[in-house]
Amino acid sequence: MTQIHQSDVAIIGGGLMGCSAALFLRQRGMSVTLLETDKVGRQASGTNFGNVRRQGRPIFQLPLANRAIRIWRDSPQLLGSDVEYLQSGHIRVCFRDRPENIGKMEDYAALAREEGLDLELLSANALREKFPWLGPDVLAGSYSATDGHANPRLAAPAFARAAARLGASIVEDTKIVHAEKVGEDFRLTAEDGRQFAAPILLITAGAWAGKIAGWFGEEIPLTPRAPTMSVTEPVPYAIAPAVGVMTPDEVETVYFRQVARGNIVLGGSTRAQSYPDDYRSYVLPQNTMTQFQHLRRLAPALANLQVIRVWSGIEGYTDDALPIMGPSAKVSGLFHAFGFSGSGFQIGPGVGETMAELIATGATDIPLEHYAVTRFAK
């Protein structure tokens, strides 16, 4: 008979959501087993742009984002390692051809202030005085001094190591191929036959989570998409804030941030298709060229820099671009936290802490109604 590895909570998916939940659950004294198909943090959590920004999130998401920012600021002590979190600000700009975005920025800033997020609106002249590298097409911008960025390659692994130091079982190279509730326990079976059991199951499996939720009758359609990412050679540090664009157009939604070592991470514009069944995503060169074109418009001086690498990852998008977060509507003891639609990095630690609180105490102050799994029920 196969030995069954038992714990209080089993987590399927070792991205930032799962790894941070594992840490906070251990802090609350619950035993945790986290199961990851590959290595922790390899997919969306490790390949995203690295924006740690509250600005631009839906207003109703700001309490969650505020929770997360406290954890980011505390991360060196909490994790015992440096995930390169820099509170160096974030600016969101709009272009001359869409002046209506200024009004939208003002509306958003007013609502955000009520949630504790202070944004400074800057017109073109003031913007260029502060950030002279912005292109002439930039009309206005919204500056968030308390936003910043961090290193996605380091974050989820650091949470996992901290959780393991507290006694969590972080089990990598383990693909769960079957899961069902048997009596009081969720019984998980890995590809190699190993078995895991727990009375509580948390699904944080990113682009693969919709199918896993489907094992319990709650299949969520997720579109897997591949971000177009590039990075430059290291250059002298000149650009403090992360920079993004407010626009309805995906093709011109580009962003960049300079890391302390000097490289500039470039992201955005057209996303490609990704192939979660093969665990592969490819950057299409035509998308890289479009990305460059729009970046040149945003910050002309970038044109001189050499890009040394592109990469992509596998992100899971829901139909309304909002995550599924909260308890299952069908199976008691089952919880979901996935579908973050390319916007999960900043809130990630907050998601982990909130899910741990919900699981351990049955309740959380963070409003979750917008993320209910039932909104996709037929």
Partner 1 sequence: MSARFRRLVETDRPQVSLTIDGVGVTALAGDTLMVAMLTNGDALRSSEFSDLEPTDGRRAGFCLMGACQDCWVWTAQGERLRACSTPVQGGMEISTHQPEATWATIA
Partner 2 sequence: MGNHRVIIVGAGPAGVRAASAVVRAGLRPIVIDEAARAGGQIYRRPPENFQRDHEALYGTEAARARAIHEDFAALVPHIDYRPETLVWNVAEGHVWAAHEGETQAIPYDALIVCSGASDRVAPIKGWQAAGCYSLGGAQIALKAQGCAIGHRVIFLGSGPLLYLAAAQYVKAGAEVAAVLDTSPFWLRVKAAPKLAAMPELLWQGVKLLRDLKRAGVPVLTGVTPVEIEGDTQSGVSGVTVRHKGAVKHFAGDAVAMGWHVKPEAQIADLARATFAFDEATRQWLPQTDADGRAGNALYLGGDGARVLGARSAEVTGELAAMAALADLGLSVDADRRRWLLAEKANYANFAKGLAQAFPWPHELVAAIPDEAIVCRCEAVTAATLRASVNTAHAQEANRAKAFSRVGMGRCQGRYCGHASTEIIAAARSVSLEKTGRLRGQAPVKPIPVSLKRNDL
Residue 122 pairs in a beta bridge with 141
Minimum CB distance to partner 2, residue 55 (Å): 25
How do 90-95 and 138-144 pair as beta strands?
antiparallel
239 binds, among partner 2, partner 1, none (CB under 5 to 8 A by kind): partner 1
User: Of 103, 183, 193, 236, which lies in the binding site for partner 1, with binding defined by CB under 8 A?
Assistant: 236
Give me the half-sphere count of Cα atoms (radius 13 Å) on the Cβ side of residue 297: 20
Of the candidate spans 16-24, 214-222, 234-242, 312-320, the one that interacts with partner 1 by CB under 8 A turns out to be 234-242
Q: How far is the CB of 137 from partner 1 (least distance, A)?
A: 14
Stretch that binds partner 1, among 84-92, 106-114, 169-177, 304-312 (CB under 8 A): 304-312
Identify which of 67, 181, 184, 141 has the alpha carbon closest to the alpha carbon of residue 299. 141
> Is 125 near partner 1 (CB under 8 A)?
no
Q: Are strands 185-190 and 195-198 parallel, antiparallel or unpaired?
A: antiparallel
Nearer to partner 1, 68 or 265 (CB): 265
Return all residues near 114 (Cβ < 8 A) that are at least 6 apart: none
Cα–Cα distance measured from residue 102 to residue 275, given in angstroms and rounded to the nearest whole number: 38
Contact window for partner 1 (CB under 8 A) among 105-113, 116-124, 229-237, 244-252: 229-237
Choosing from 248, 303, 363, 365, the residue that interacts with partner 1 (CB under 8 A) is 303
Site string for partner 1, 245-284 (x = CB under 8 A): ----------------xx----------------------
Task: Please identify, among the stretches 49-57, 206-214, 305-313, 325-333, the one whose residues bind partner 1 according to the rule CB under 8 A.
Answer: 305-313
| Cα–Cα distance for residue pair 251/106, rounded to 1 Å | 24
Which listed option, partner 2, partner 1, none, makes contact with residue 132 (CB within 5 to 8 Å by class)?
Answer: partner 1
Q: Closest approach of Cβ 346 to partner 2, in Å?
A: 20
Residue 142 contacts by C-beta under 8 Å, 6 or more apart in sequence? 55, 91, 92, 93, 105, 108, 109, 119, 120, 121, 122, 246
Nearer to partner 2, 182 or 303 (CB): 303
In one-letter notation, the amino acid at residue 125 is: N
Binds partner 1 by CB under 8 A, chosen from 19, 35, 239, 314:
239
CA 305/CA 92 separation, integer angstroms = 22
Residue 100 class from Cβ within 10 Å (0-12 exposed, 13-18 middle, 19+ buried)?
Answer: exposed
Tell the smallest beta-carbon distance from residue 178 to partner 1 (Å).
48
Told to check if 300 binds partner 1 by CB under 8 A, we report yes
- Of 140, 142, 144, give the one whose Cα is nearest residue 128: 140
Cα-based angle 53, 56, 58 (whole degrees, multiple of 5): 110
In the complex with partner 1, the residue whose CB is nearer, 197 or 239, is: 239
- For partner 2, the binding residues (CB under 8 A) are 39, 46, 153-154, 157, 161, 232-233, 266, 282-286, 288-289, 292-293, 295-296, 302-311
Q: Which residues bind partner 1 (CB under 8 A)?
A: 132-133, 233-239, 261-262, 299-301, 303-306, 308
